[in-house]
Structure 1
């Protein structure tokens, strides 16, 4: 009897130990899945990162809820192509600070950046050491993208943006109210162009920061397109903005509605956007403009 009881005890012990090991393994596996599910943003809370399907690829959307009693709506943040949804600097600052002013933030991943064509030199034209020769034809610029190629590139980028934006209605459901679209650099150029073609839903307020486009033709056409938008626009130009954005600063102001501060306002900043003080200034400008538009009288 004692032998039987002993064997029974060891059997139960073995089952218990096996169950504990299996449970521990399962928990560790689940934890690893949680940590590695968004490796790019593993420094953020898991509920802050939403993975969406855009065409045949996955894309991240970062969401931050309101902080405090104000619940005015949501601000959609759209950065420069090639960046991520939490790009260091102004983008990351606004994403974290706007919720304290009553605006939940929804930051989207921009489309990929267009690769630049570089100078190319054929191997047979490289001068040997000591020859002391220079042939101006040795370094020739590779052919630029043709008009048809640019159109295909733009079409892909615009499709990516449209498909991403179409997902935001559901994501933004917990944050009813107004919608601010904040776009920077070439992302702002895309927004101007796509809104003018009715490819994006109109936001209640549009904030542009150093807007430009990648080609001269597209860039110089932005002021006219901007003037056609029938929405309140805050146009911020910083001292260190891309040279292409600086070229259109005056035209953007002159072609937009005059003496209509609730329709269009351009703000020139003396500080560079690599200064934290400039980030705070942008936040104050956005908060102030939104307040005036929402409370005109």
Structure 2
């Protein structure tokens, strides 16, 4: 006699199937809640990783209202103090795990530029995202405190460098600093994010800026059709800001000493600087 295999779902009473589905959904919700509650603990874990190594000497807290924002400050080690740079990492990274930002953080101080790698609102350990208005206000406040810190160190020429979402935030910060302390902005693969309001759109901000802007596209793929799109973007922004420059660089060799990205940014900073000693 031939037996007929029936799906297992037909062998289980419907009420039990519904119970299991609800239980599974509850487990998923609990797991997500645990992850959200555990996110702030990653901040403490990051501090613990810093404590036994040389980064601990560079770690500082910048007071922003009632909260302390993490940053890594590396003083100038060059023969001449040209200025300082504020570094803004990409989304879901932190102040030292981004290969481009962390590389610039250690490279530029050897050539006259002190570096301050600042924690942005988009990190791996800030659990809940901010609203559009909250994000705009938060990044402005953090950047203003970072600028004030660098001024207290004696720096008058300050550049802002950002990657990814950090690049968009960098241009947004520069657009809101009107005292002339921002020397230049360097954007690396700037992107638009759904959480960012319309006022924080990289193309529009860069076109409005009245300071030199270096817009770098780092890519592992050939330019192809994207080159035409970026050239159009370049001409559109440059029409509003004659001091805007767009450059494409290959994404090979991101690690190591004098990489093409580091050399390009270092050269750009030196050209924009008055090359006067501004800090002891």
Common fold: TM-score over 0.5: yes
Residue 237 of structure 1 aligns with which residue? 217
Larger relative contact order (CA 8 Å, sep ≥ 6): 2
Decide which of 144, 149, 173 is 1:171's aligned counterpart.
149
Figure out how many residues of one structure are paired with residues of the other and give that number: 218
The runs of 5 or more residues in structure 1 that have no matched partner are 1-35, 116-149
Residue 250 of structure 2 aligns with which residue? 270
The equivalences for 1:24-103 within 5 A come to 38-42=47-51, 43-103=53-113
Residue 193 of structure 2 aligns with which residue? 214
Decide which of 244, 252, 264 is 2:233's aligned counterpart.
252
Q: Would the alpha carbon gap of residues 193 and 181 (structure 1) be closer, same or farther in structure 2, given more than 3 Å must change?
A: closer
Cα shift readout 1:57-90 (whole Å, capped 9, x = no counterpart): 3321110011131210101101113321112411
Cα shift readout 1:142-172 (whole Å, capped 9, x = no counterpart): xxxxxxxx9x612222222122112224421
Aligned counterparts of 2:49 and 2:67: Cα–Cα separation in 1: 15
Aligned counterparts of 1:266 and 1:178: Cα–Cα separation in 2: 22
Deviates more, 1:152-161 or 1:181-190: 152-161
TM-score when normalising by structure 1: 0.63
How large is the Cα RMSD of the aligned pairs? 3.5
Q: Using the TM superposition, give the Cα deviation of residue 278 of structure 1 relative to its aligned residue in structure 2, in angstroms.
A: 9.9
Residue 5 of structure 1 aligns with which residue? none
Q: Is the 8 A contact 2:171 2:202 kept in 1?
A: yes
| Structure ID, larger Rg | 1
Residue 208 of structure 2 aligns with which residue? 228
Residue 186 of structure 1 aligns with which residue? 165
Q: Is the 8 A contact 2:143 2:173 kept in 1?
A: no
Aligned counterparts of 2:58 and 2:256: Cα–Cα separation in 1: 26
Q: Using the TM superposition, give the Cα deviation of residue 213 of structure 1 relative to its aligned residue in structure 2, in angstroms.
A: 1.2
Q: Is the 8 A contact 2:76 2:110 kept in 1?
A: yes
TM-score when normalising by structure 2: 0.66
